[in-house]
Amino acid sequence: MVGGNDAIRSSNIASTNGSHGLQFNGTLRGIYQANISKSNTLSGFDFTLGSNYSIASGNISYSNGLRGIEIDSQSNWVNAIGNTVYMNQEVGITLFQSASCNLVGNQALGNGVGAVSDKVGILIRDNSTGLSSNNRLIGNNASDDGLGGATQAIGIKHEAAASGTILLGNKSTGNTSSQVNIAGGLPNRVSEGQGYVSEATGTTSITSGNTSVVVTHGLSFTPSVDEIQLTIGNVPTNAVGEVYVDTFTSTQFTIHCRNNPGASGLTLGWQVRQYP
């Protein structure tokens, strides 16, 4: 454990410790650079209790008892850049009760090898005593590479009350349950991510004798009415009246018209896009 400010830990190997491999505890402006942390009882690298303005860059963390990198307990404005975390018992990288952190270009691969509930590459946690907020995940790879069998259930998980997150250009593939799991607290922006479907288009029709059709959208989020656009593609036999959308779920939404369109049916194009 390291107290005091402006500490630098570079080119070390932290192995088989009974706690964290390397920990900044209330350390301002601490730097972990080019270290290896492996087979420790808790996490490989830990920022805790207000270790603000700190950096983890170019480190490797694997086979630890909990997490590869842990940023928690109001450790704000932390940058984790270009680290590799793999085969940890629980989560690759976790943000907990911390704000305005940047996770950029990290590799979180094949974590969750233990008998635990959170088998996640990158986890943005929430907690009533201190919510994770305004964090940015950019260009990370939270995939399961399949070496030794797939173990990582979820690539990127965003818990319900965390807020203000930006997810941009991340990759999440090969995970056993879902690639990106947003339980709630919808991030401000999710885009350009492999494994996360943020927009979709299609065509459908309300057939003669009916006044609605259910659309399966294939998106990674539950859309809202302001994110859906409809285009009418024909002049129906009967005047259909108002056309509207409701019943939004994680897999479907329903398009209605007031009146039966008649023999021609009502042809519709739809487009959904998640906006910032």
Domain ranges in the chain are: 8-191, 199-273
pLDDT at 162 over 90: no
Q: Which has the minimum average pLDDT: 6-15, 36-45, 122-131?
A: 122-131
Backbone φ and ψ for 55, nearest 5 degrees, come out as -140, 135
CA–CA separation, 19 and 23 (whole Å): 9
Mean pLDDT of 151-175: 91
Mean pLDDT on 195-199: 78
Burial class (CB in 10 A: 0-12, 13-18, 19+), 275: exposed
199-273: CATH topology is Immunoglobulin-like (2.60.40)
Are the C-beta atoms of residues 146 and 179 closer than 8 Å to each other? no
pLDDT in the model for residue 220:
81
Q: Domain 8-191, CATH 3.40.50.2300 — does that match? A: no
- The answer to whether the predicted template modeling score (pTM) of the entire model surpasses 0.85 is no
Q: Is the pLDDT of residue 188 over 80?
A: no
* pLDDT at residue 185 greater than cutoff 90: no
Angle at 164 between CA 158 and CA 170, to 5 degrees: 55
